Amino acid sequence: MRRGRFGRIVQAGLLAIGVCAALAQTASAQDRRQNEPGKFDYYVLALSWSPSYCEASAERAPNRAPDQQCAGRPFAFVVHGLWPQYEKGFPSYCQVPAPRLDRAIVGSVLDLMPSPRLVFHEWDRHGTCTGLTPHAFFEAVRKARAAVKIPDDYFSLDKPRTVTPAEVTDAFVKANPDLARDDFAVVCDSKRLTEVRVCLTRTFTFRACPEVTQRACKLERMAMPALRGG
């Protein structure tokens, strides 16, 4: 009896080891897939409400000089990034070290992403996962941005507002007739509108993205700081 019981314990232990090894092998395969440039399902175009970014940055470090995005002309929505996505999850840092960016390329995109530091970061973390060259990636950023119309009212927001996520959603749907409510998410921090994240196919048409929309802002109302100077 003792020997039989011991045998069952050993057998169970070996089975557990086998399961763990299989899981580890599966995880390893998943990791390899996620790190393969060009292997993804769709894009997320993240549009940051610049006044919220600048206000939050000033709160975190009140004595630090503002960066280029917050010290220059007042921006409304700017491109935070163009992010390759899987139906579940996303790749990042697919080439380490990342291919170097030419400063001419950085300068060419500052009208959309008004911070060189942001441009370098987004290329390293997300651009390298697209399988595109730096030039082609930032051309893709420009095409993605051109696919989304920002509501006109947001370019001249001269006073702070309190808005609901639904109001921002309605404004984007009205400005973009082909954009469905399942194609994007309005995102907030603990009190402010921070971003609108729009899901696009690899040919820059709108598409549904349940994993993105389920992370939409849950606040009843959120602050929308005015453009600086307003």
H or E segment and range at residue 132:
none
pLDDT at site 87: 92
Q: How far apart are CA 206 and CA 176, in angstroms?
A: 10
Strand locations in 7-139, DSSP E? Answer: 42-49, 77-85
Which residues are known catalytic residues? 80, 122, 126
Is the sign of the CA dihedral 193, 199, 202, 206 positive or negative?
negative
| Predicted TM-score (pTM) of this structure | 0.84
Q: Say how many CA atoms lie within 13 Å of 97 toward its Cβ.
A: 4
The mean pLDDT values, 10 residues at a time, for the chain of 230 residues are 47 43 40 75 97 93 84 91 94 95 96 95 97 97 98 93 98 98 98 98 98 97 84
Distance (Å, whole) CA 137 – CA 143: 10
